Chains A and B, each alone.
Chain A
Amino acid sequence: MFLYEKKLEYPINIRKKDLNMAKNLLAQYGGCDSELAASLRYLNQRYTMPDAKGMALLTDIGTEELAHVEMISTMIAQLMEGATIEELSKAGLNGHYTMHDRGLFPTDPNGVPFTTAYIETTGDWRADLESDMAAEQRARATYEHLMNETNDPDVLAPLAFLRQRENVHYARFKELRDYYMNKNQPNVD
């Protein structure tokens, strides 16, 4: 089960409203390579990992991704705080306002709602881990795009932290994948 710690993994303190950036950050909230997709993906895939290392790593990275969902949600909420309807409209969030007011809702920046089709579980460790490595790289690239879209240090600091976590998770997934390859599992080429 999960135990809640009443704090963020990394502090977030955004003082300046920025609706364009709130909209852009939806990519990591409800997009195909979002933190939400990552957490569900790993927590679902762990049941068919071949041994204890894989079960542990997918549980622990999946859990950390849940903490990242909370960070991204916090950033969006703080960036939208006190927004007027005019400001939301100007940033292209009029559709969001119409359907969700100022509530959070997992879509991508283009309004495409989150779908479980993003989760990608095959039950095959090699396919799953190689897909996870690619997912971490796509998320890293997305964080770089987001870092190119703002100059606000309150936003850049947590983005830089989250981007670096993608590098670490990628490296751990790769180590696990290489370890299984070396153990000559039956479905290895």
Chain B
Amino acid sequence: MNNYYNYQNYLNQAAKKMNPPTDNMNSLKNEGIVNQNQMNMGQMNKKIYEPYEGFIKGSMFPELYKPYKIANPYEIKPMNEQAELLTYIDALGFAMIDLNLYLDLYPNDRNMIERYNQYRMQKEEFMKQYESKFGPLVTTSDALKNYPWAWDNRPWPWENK
């Protein structure tokens, strides 16, 4: 049962294959100082979990993780290649959701904006891989060029068994 890929290795390999995000990162760094309309708390260089760990814990922020009854978070155990690829998308998508909520309140945290964009680009790459094999996840996908129309392919999310 434990023969699914090691998450970090997979992610690192995928990261190497992708367009290096450095240009975008530098452009973010080189922007001028934005206005200081920020909440006056020491929020910069905040420690966060890696996407998969944050995902299975339900929080990217260690100080907000307060488990009930369980000593360790449940690992995701994908049953096939499709579910496995989806796990990476899920983890990166979750990291984006949680960082987004934080950034709504702390829009001047550059470091966190960089992390958000790093996850966004990684997620896009995994989405492309997934959609070329298993069909579209969104109605803006290139996989919708296929004939016949692929949006109604099963399984629908509630059907996964």
A78 to B158 CA separation, bound complex (whole angstroms): 8
- In the complex, whether B67 has a CB less than 8 A from a CB of chain A is yes
- In the complex, whether A73 has a CB less than 8 A from a CB of chain B is yes
What would 17 more interface pairs be, CB under 8 Å, given A4-B138, A6-B137, A144-B68?
A3-B138, A3-B140, A6-B156, A11-B76, A11-B83, A13-B160, A15-B161, A53-B107, A57-B105, A64-B101, A163-B68, A164-B59, A168-B64, A168-B98, A169-B101, A172-B102, A176-B105
A61 to B102 CA separation, bound complex (whole angstroms): 11
Residues of B within 8 A of A (CB): 39, 55-59, 61, 64-70, 73-74, 76, 78-79, 83, 86-87, 89-90, 93-94, 97-98, 100-102, 104-105, 107, 136-140, 151, 156-158, 160-161
Q: Mark A69-100, 1 if CB is under 8 A from B, else 0.
A: 01001100110000000000000000000000
CB distance from A168 to the nearest CB of B (A): 5
- In the complex, whether A9 has a CB less than 8 A from a CB of chain B is yes
A86 to B7 CA separation, bound complex (whole angstroms): 44
Q: Tell me whether A163 and B157 are in contact in the complex, defined as CB-CB below 8 angstroms, given that A7-B86, A11-B90, A60-B100 are known contacts.
A: no
Query: Which single residue of chain A is at the shortest CB-CB distance from B103?
Result: A56
- Give chain A interface residues in 38-71, CB to chain B under 8 Å: 53, 56-57, 60-61, 64, 70
A172 / chain B contacts, CB cutoff of 8 Å: 101-102, 104-105
The prevalent SS among residues of A at the interface is helix
A78 to B69 CA separation, bound complex (whole angstroms): 24
Q: Are B74 and A3 in contact, with the CB atoms below 8 A?
A: no
Q: Are B160 and A60 in contact, with the CB atoms below 8 A?
A: no
Q: Are B105 and A160 in contact, with the CB atoms below 8 A?
A: no
For A171, give its contact among B64, B90, B93 (CB under 8 Å).
B64
Q: Tell me whether A160 and B68 are in contact in the complex, defined as CB-CB below 8 angstroms, given that A4-B138, A5-B138, A175-B39 are known contacts.
A: yes
The prevalent SS among residues of B at the interface is loop
Query: Which single residue of chain A is at the shortest CB-CB distance from B40?
Result: A182
Count, chain A residues at interface, CB 8 A: 43
B83 / chain A contacts, CB cutoff of 8 Å: 11
Query: Which single residue of chain A is at the shortest CB-CB distance from B86?
Result: A7
CB distance from A105 to the nearest CB of B (A): 15
Q: Are B70 and A156 in contact, with the CB atoms below 8 A?
A: yes
- Give chain A interface residues in 5-24, CB to chain B under 8 Å: 5-13, 15
A88 to B107 CA separation, bound complex (whole angstroms): 50
A to B CB contacts below 8 Å, 21 in the list: A3-B139, A4-B138, A5-B138, A6-B136, A7-B86, A8-B160, A9-B97, A10-B90, A11-B87, A12-B158, A12-B160, A53-B107, A60-B100, A70-B157, A77-B158, A164-B65, A164-B66, A164-B67, A167-B59, A168-B101, A175-B39
Query: Which single residue of chain A is at the shortest CB-CB distance from B68?
Result: A144
- In the complex, whether A153 has a CB less than 8 A from a CB of chain B is yes
A157 to B90 CA separation, bound complex (whole angstroms): 15
Q: Mark A142-164, 1 if CB is under 8 A from B, else 0.
A: 01100100000100110011111
Q: Are A9 and B94 in contact, with the CB atoms below 8 A?
A: yes
B66 / chain A contacts, CB cutoff of 8 Å: 164, 167
CB distance from B40 to the nearest CB of A (A): 8
Q: Tell me whether A175 and B105 are in contact in the complex, defined as CB-CB below 8 angstroms, given that A5-B137, A168-B64 are known contacts.
A: yes
